Amino acid sequence: MAETDTDPADEFDRSISAGALDERTPGLFRRYQRLPRNVLVISLVSFLNDASSEIIYPLLPVFLAGALGVTPVVIGLIEGGAESVSSFLKLFAGYFSDRSGRRKAPVVFGYALASIVRPLLGFATSWPQVFAVRFADRVGKGIRSAPRDAMIADSATPHERGLAFGFHRAMDHLGAVVGPLLGFALLVSIAGNRNAPTLAEYRWIFLAASIPALAAVLVAAFAIRETRKDRDDGRAHRKAERERADALRAESSDGAAASTNDAAPAAAPSAVASAAAPPRFSLRGFDGNFKRFLIIIALFTLSNSSDAFLLLRAREVGISTATIPLLWAALHVTKVLSSLVGGDLSDRLGRKTLIVTGWLFYAAVYLGFAFVSTVGGAWVLFLVYGIYFGLAEGAEKALVADLVPADKRGTAYGLYNLAFSITVWPASLLMGALWSWRGASVAFVASACVGTLAALLLATVVRPGALNKR
């Protein structure tokens, strides 16, 4: 398919769905009730998996800095490296899910791998061991994420994609509310000194995290349904369009080609689907807006270092170790609420508007962390930080589905995550290096500036067109 850019002549924001202006559109709660079964099941799996992960994650930087004595630079190496590998693998997982026509298998395998390796953190006695476990955990995430996002896009109609991704992110963040609360309860019941747990006490907390992870694997294996038919239909449609175009070109050069033109639209869908060319591991055929979006995502991610640094900053201004899981849970409460509202708004107001607003929220919060000096101020910043996720995360993924053809969604989500992976590790390494060299304030100000630049570029150079109708 030839590369084309979206026509920018239409001044009206065509990413607004038709339902945005229809008074008969049902209320928000009823719209969530009507989401497809697969979206609801996948969201439940994400809830259970994140509940497991977030028992561990808020305590991990304190565990590394306190129990193992590592520096911010090493924390950046561990978290940035793990996330970078995860995002890089999403490219290949998404591509092969397009190529094979199956998405469920990598989703289940990815969740299973994470559930197996995550409890091994309880036996780590050095930072290289922690890095190895986090690496394997993120490999599981890298394998499952792009096919999972493609399944959500396959299952939802164009006018409810923002709602579907918003609901999925809300359930994921709800797991991140439950997880830290469970971690806090475990810390209170197990640790003799809540602010300085021993290695053995951390071990029991980390082992307990395997229970919801196992539940997530079982739900994924037995309740998620494959979505291959949707992609076959998309390939059939695109193949038929190519045949029509070829027939028209032949007709213009040779009148005898009229019979070919008549036959192309009548081709049987099953035959067209089987003859459709497999997706290529390439950027060719993607809209120019999508390519520019990938570049800007990579730039924004350079400002988006690991949240472990926010937790370290909170600890630095006086928030106790025992309170950190509660702070993390409160952050995710705002993520849940803002994701539920943000997903709906992206369907009604346009994806780009929500993403730019979210990124500006992010930059403002990081600027605040550069100068925060009180416990209360840190709490406020964490709560406001959650709004960024609700506005931007679901809208970004819905925008990807809007900009690419149906049979290339797995590859597109892989490329989206590849753009993230290129700069996520350097982001954490730079954050750790700036923190160690010039202090936390300089590091956070630098991140805020890069995030603001990315938001301005997105607002000016990416023009979302009409929603992808398949």
Question: Token pair of 232, please?
Answer: 């076959």
Q: How far apart are CA 386 and CA 393, in angstroms?
A: 11
The more confident residue out of 35 and 265 is 35
Of the candidates 272, 202, 181, the one whose C-alpha atom is nearest the C-alpha of residue 59 is 202
Q: For 229-260, what is each residue's pLDDT tens digit?
A: 445 554 555 565 556 556 655 555 555 444 44
Nearest of 74, 56, 59 to residue 431 by alpha carbon: 74
- Nearest-angstrom CA–CA distance, 165 and 134: 26
Q: Is residue 48 predicted with pLDDT exceeding 60?
A: yes
In the prediction, which pLDDT does 426 show? 86
**pLDDT-based confidence at 11, cuts 50/70/90?**
very low
**What value does the mean pLDDT take over residues 2-10?**
39
301, pLDDT greater than 50: yes
For 373: left if phi > 0, alpha if psi spans -120 to 50, otherwise beta; the answer is: alpha
Confidence of residue 112 (pLDDT cuts 50, 70, 90): very high
DSSP state of 120: G
Q: Are 419 and 372 in contact (CB under 8 A)?
A: no
Residue 436: its pLDDT value, please? Answer: 86
Distance CA(170)–CA(173), nearest Å, equals 5
pLDDT, residue 264, reads 44
Find where tokens 């290289």 sit: 128
pLDDT confidence band for 297 (50 / 70 / 90): very high
Task: Answer whether 42's CB lies under 8 Å from 151's CB.
Answer: yes
pLDDT digits 0-9 by tens, 57-68 = 878 877 887 778
Q: Of 202-216, 264-278, 332-346, 402-416, which gets the smallest average pLDDT?
A: 264-278
**Residue appearing with tokens 């009409």:** 466
In this structure, what are the phi and psi dihedrals at residue 466, rounded to the nearest 5 degrees?
Answer: -65, 150
Q: How confident is the model at residue 14 (pLDDT cuts 50, 70, 90)?
A: very low
Between residues 95 and 142, the one the model is more confident about: 142
Cβ-contact 58, 295 below 8 angstroms? no
DSSP letter, residue 257: G
Q: What is the pLDDT of residue 323?
A: 85
Residue 16, pLDDT > 80, answer no
Residues contacting residue 96 through CB under 8 Å, at least 6 positions apart: 106, 410
d(CA 443, CA 110): 34
At 43, list the tokens: 């969201």
Query: pLDDT band at 469, cuts 50/70/90?
Result: very low
Least confident of 47-51, 395-399, 409-413: 409-413
Assess whether pLDDT exceeds 70 at residue 389: yes
Give per-residue pLDDT as tens, 28-37: 677 777 889 9
User: Under 8 Å CB-to-CB from 90, ≥6 apart: which residues?
Assistant: 142, 145, 146, 413, 414, 416, 417, 418, 421
Angstrom distances, CA of residue 54 to CA of 51, 147, 331: 5, 22, 12
Closest by CA position to 262, among listed 242, 277, 248 = 248
Which of the following CATH numbers is that of domain 26-227+285-461: 1.20.1250.20, 3.50.50.60, 3.30.465.10, 3.40.50.300?
1.20.1250.20
Average pLDDT value for residue range 356-373: 94
In whole angstroms, what is the distance from residue 431 CA to residue 435 CA?
6
* Percent of the residues in the chain that have a pLDDT greater than 90, as a whole number: 21
Q: Please, are residues 35 and 152 in contact by the beta-carbon 8 Å criterion?
A: no
